[in-house]
């Protein structure tokens, strides 16, 4: 029997809740864990500088709710990329990474998801790739010291848009603390990817999986990489999850969605969960039971 945990991205949920309210809501909606966001906004970047009391509040909420926080999504590197031509930005990027590792360690988070961009707002060059690789190697050393996994996500950007490209990076940076975080939507949107084969040949590198629908990149379209309702994009979720089941993937799945354009975020999350519950049932995939931790 295949059993997987299922989580929800923090930015899918209503804003303005306390941490205990947020994690209780995650539990009520039937998820095993929350994916924590440190994006490029000042508000969320401030989380990297939380004091002891702020960190303790989250730890207590985790224990009281029985809801884990499995992953820290460090998308703040879009604003401060590892491959920036500006050495001040690169220094800030590594400082962010160091703080994120410390925060993850304090909160019991096992994985930091890295956005697979050399740069986002700057021009890409051979040097931007080199700076990315150099800084990534140093970042892995930082994470390894506290036994926190760094997972590179397959992106909406050609720099790292496949598991094969992550495998190439791993062939140069040898560490068990550097792995891959495939986004099934992003993988599918790039026409050069054979998604089934990507999963088959890179299974040993997969630490977690994002569930997101997308519309493809074509000669006439840049694609759509977010806010595509599940089932209205081109991701073959049934085929992807069937492949992962055959490969004995027992790790975490995270539903990635956003609440900004939603009049009823909770209803949208419930619908998304039902969409995947139906697929899980068809494939005989079982979600880890959702229950309160024993105190």
- According to the model, what pLDDT value does residue 295 have? 40
Q: Which residues of the chain have pLDDT under 70?
A: 292-295
In this prediction the pTM is: 0.96
Q: Which helix (H) or strand (E) holds 139?
A: helix 126-145
Is 9 in a helix, a strand, or coil? strand
- According to the model, what pLDDT value does residue 292 have? 55
Q: CA nearest 262: which of 232, 227, 234?
A: 227
Residue 48's Cβ-side half-sphere holds a number of Cα atoms within 13 Å equal to 24
């Amino acid at each position: 029997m295949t059993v997987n945990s299922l989580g929800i991205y923090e930015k899918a949920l209503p804003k303005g809740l306390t941490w205990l309210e947020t994690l209780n809501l995650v539990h009520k909606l039937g998820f095993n864990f929350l994916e924590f966001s440190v994006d490029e906004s000042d508000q969320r970047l401030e989380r990297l500088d939380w004091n002891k009391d702020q960190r303790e509040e989250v730890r207590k909420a985790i224990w009281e709710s029985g809801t884990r926080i499995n992953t820290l999504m460090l998308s703040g590197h879009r604003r401060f990329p590892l491959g920036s031509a500006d050495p001040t930005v690169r220094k800030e990027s590594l400082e962010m990474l160091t703080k994120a590792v410390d925060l993850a360690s304090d909160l019991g988070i096992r994985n930091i998801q890295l956005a697979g961009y050399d740069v986002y707002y700057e021009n890409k060059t051979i040097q931007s790739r080199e700076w990315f690789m150099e800084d990534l190697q140093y970042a892995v050393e930082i994470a390894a010291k506290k036994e926190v996994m760094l997972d590179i996500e397959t992106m909406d950007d050609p720099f790292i848009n496949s598991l094969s490209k992550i495998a190439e990076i791993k062939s140069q940076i040898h560490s068990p603390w550097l792995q891959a975080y495939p986004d099934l939507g992003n993988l599918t949107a790039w026409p050069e990817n054979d998604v089934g084969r990507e999963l088959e040949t890179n299974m040993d590198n997969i630490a977690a999986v994002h569930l997101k629908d997308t519309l493809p990149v074509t000669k006439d379209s840049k694609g759509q990489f977010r806010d595509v309702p599940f089932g209205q994009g081109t991701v073959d979720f049934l085929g992807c999850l069937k492949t992962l089941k055959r490969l004995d993937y027992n790790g975490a799945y995270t539903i990635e969605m956003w609440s900004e354009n939603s009049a009823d975020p909770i209803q949208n999350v419930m619908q998304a969960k039902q969409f995947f519950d139906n697929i899980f049932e068809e494939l005989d995939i079982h979600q880890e039971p959702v229950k309160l931790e024993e105190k």
